[in-house]
Structure 1
Amino acid sequence: MQLGVVGLGRMGQIVVDRVIEAGHDVVAFDLDEEAVATAADAGATPADSVVDLAERLGADKRIWLMVPAGDAVDAALDDLEPHLDGDDIVVDGGNSYFEDSVRRADTTDAAYLDCGTSGGPAGAELGFSLMVGGPEWAYEELVPVFDAVATGPEGHDRMGPAGSGHYVKMVHNGVEYALMQTYGEGFELLANGRYDLDLESVARTWNNGAVIRSWLLELCEEAFAEEGTDLGTVADRVEGGSTGTWTVQEALEQEVPVPLIYQALAERFDSRSSGGEGPGRFSRRLANRLRYGFGRHEVPRREE
């Protein structure tokens, strides 16, 4: 299969690498010429614009967008639109708001698949978890590509109609916020409790058979190993919040109580208004470091 990939940041490059490794052909474009060169070194055919990419693809175009949510997606679609028809397929693999995905599916001539993507840069080795919404025929057509990008056949599925993939990913991120907050609070109590504990040892022990073992807990272990039990200079500031905000807004609209997700979101917002005096809350410092662990997001740090 031939796949066009637009957007060659960390995640887009992983899509390119895994699809090529599975034996498919890739045409790649990004505004960053160095990123295009990196994709070409991996075996992709470079394109110098979105239009050039579309023209290099066959009659039935399969295009994966891995660009930032919002205006960048609409801009790419505007460039592609004259070159698309109902036999073509466009995948939006970014963190788009699900209602934007519904709108794009309604206004784009091609079949539109909204693909929630989880796994972060670790997906380079393991593969992603893919939550896909949109027409069933388009999903089935791209199963070989999804098999390559995901952890395998069990790592992806069609959630339902347009918007459902990004809807499921939105709620996934809300759950992620709450889990990070819970681990943070637990380790904060251990750090300030009765015993002088090695938190890396605690996390490692929990990760071997305990009920609360998880990849996030493995990243806690990694954080303590690299930063120290006191988390060193990691600041009490947690960035991000758009998908958590969308989750809480949707919960209010559907009248579904989500107090843990709401509180985790509120902690993030409060971390940005606390002024940064002193070391701050341990739980939020751990959440800050966990974002680096799974997404390689920059770690805000405090002065010692």
Structure 2
Amino acid sequence: MATRRRRPRRRRANSSSDREAYLPTGEPCDMHLGVIGLGRMGRIVADRAVDAGHEVTAFDVSDDALAEAAEAGIEPAESIPDLAATLGDPKYIWLMVPAGDPVDAALDELAPHLSASDVVVDGGNSHFADSERRAAETTARYLDCGTSGGPAGAEMGFSLMIGGPADAYEELRPVFDAVATGPAGHDRMGPAGAGHYVKMVHNGVEYALMQAYGEGFELLHEGRYDLDLEAVARTWNNGAVIRSWLLELCEEAFREEGPNLGDVSDHVAGGSTGTWTVREALEREVAVPLIYEALGERFDSRRDGKFSRRLANRLRYGFGRHEVHRE
């Protein structure tokens, strides 16, 4: 397995006064972060932390992913216990594994190696209730971190919505500054679960926005004029009220797939976070008709064909590099 030479470690800040000496403007604070999971998003977390001057040790079940990370200056670990053994005190560990059982499995392996001073961040799309449970069950301080931005975060940084103890959040500010777009790209939303709760609603809003763009472009596509939809999207993106990154991705989709979206199928995958959003709205008796309808359209896409859903299918590739289902 490829490895790299460890660079000399500076003394870790152990108190708030020490941290003020290491975190201000000037040389980046050299924290040591453990990252579990080197998929698309996990690798971006590790790379951006390293680029900001932090030391990163990572574990992934893929030897290839570890070897590639080592070439980029990330220290590979042979196992989760091995990763924990390389970290200082307190340990700072970022999980970027699929939501559900993989998170619990990683926590089970970490459990014997954690203390109350350590911090564990769950950066995946976990349900907020699972994050509340894990925070209560985990010895370490637990931060649930909703993460938005997709693969574009490699260059721009992510938007991070964080829940959990305020002291843990403050300690990890240097890492959050590095992984996010900067200090304005992250904030503590509240107690355990709040970060993933905000991200859940974010995804519901995302569904509705994609549906709105899809319906608008479907009308233009089926309307009375022979329109260049790429030109429409480009024009709207320059000064129009509805300009946005999603609209930029519409422009990209028409440019790369053609005005009829080529062989992009009417199948929009995903739906878990939108379902969670609608269920929560029903429990709280809050009307979310646009999100509900967008979720219904996504489910209905598995049965017949519609231009708006074909565009939504392609947009998911644009912002998240999700697989494009094709006819």
TM-score (norm 2): 0.90
Structure 1, unmatched stretches of 5+, are 275-279
The whole-number CA distance in structure 1 between the counterparts of 2:97 and 2:259 is 36
Secondary structure in structure 2 of the residue aligned to 1:26: strand
Aligned match of 1:277 = none
Read off the aligned partner of 2:164 and give its amino acid letter. G
Alignment of 1:90-109 (within 5 A): 90-109=120-139
The whole-number CA distance in structure 2 between the counterparts of 1:108 and 1:169 is 22
Aligned match of 2:3 = none
RMSD across aligned positions (CA): 0.4
Read off the aligned partner of 1:299 and give its amino acid letter. V
Task: Indicate yes or no: 2:308 matched with 1:283.
Answer: yes
Aligned match of 2:241 = 211
Structure 1 residue 106, shift from structure 2 partner: 0.2
Structure 1 residue 243, shift from structure 2 partner: 0.2
Aligned match of 1:229 = 259
Aligned match of 1:52 = 82
- Describe the superposition over 1:185-238 as per-residue Cα deviations: whole angstroms up to 9, x where unpaired: 000000000100000000000000000000000000000000011100000000
Equivalent residue in structure 1 for 2:54, among 8, 18, 24:
24
- Describe the superposition over 1:20-40 as per-residue Cα deviations: whole angstroms up to 9, x where unpaired: 000000000000011111111
The whole-number CA distance in structure 2 between the counterparts of 1:69 and 1:168 is 16
Count of residue pairs the alignment pairs up: 297
- Describe the superposition over 1:143-190 as per-residue Cα deviations: whole angstroms up to 9, x where unpaired: 000000000000000000000000000000000000000000000000
Structure 1 residue 53, shift from structure 2 partner: 0.3
The whole-number CA distance in structure 2 between the counterparts of 1:162 and 1:184 is 35
Task: Indicate yes or no: 2:182 matched with 1:157.
Answer: no
The whole-number CA distance in structure 2 between the counterparts of 1:39 and 1:71 is 25
The whole-number CA distance in structure 2 between the counterparts of 1:238 and 1:285 is 7
> Percent identity between the aligned chains?
77
The whole-number CA distance in structure 1 between the counterparts of 2:303 and 2:108 is 38
Equivalent residue in structure 2 for 1:259, among 286, 289, 293:
289
Alignment of 1:175-254 (within 5 A): 175-254=205-284
Structure 1 residue 273, shift from structure 2 partner: 2.5
The whole-number CA distance in structure 2 between the counterparts of 1:235 and 1:208 is 29
- Describe the superposition over 1:58-87 as per-residue Cα deviations: whole angstroms up to 9, x where unpaired: 121000000000000000000000000110
TM-score (norm 1): 0.97
Task: Indicate yes or no: 2:101 matched with 1:76.
Answer: no
Read off the aligned partner of 1:294 and give its amino acid letter. F
Read off the aligned partner of 1:243 and give its amino acid letter. T
Aligned match of 1:293 = 318
- Describe the superposition over 1:222-258 as per-residue Cα deviations: whole angstroms up to 9, x where unpaired: 0000001110000000000000000000000000000
Secondary structure in structure 2 of the residue aligned to 1:157: strand
Secondary structure in structure 2 of the residue aligned to 1:146: helix
- Describe the superposition over 1:132-152 as per-residue Cα deviations: whole angstroms up to 9, x where unpaired: 000000000000000000000
Aligned match of 2:177 = 147
Aligned match of 2:116 = 86
Alignment of 1:31-46 (within 5 A): 31-46=61-76
Read off the aligned partner of 2:43 and give its amino acid letter. Q
The whole-number CA distance in structure 2 between the counterparts of 1:287 and 1:122 is 18
Secondary structure in structure 1 of the residue aligned to 2:50: helix
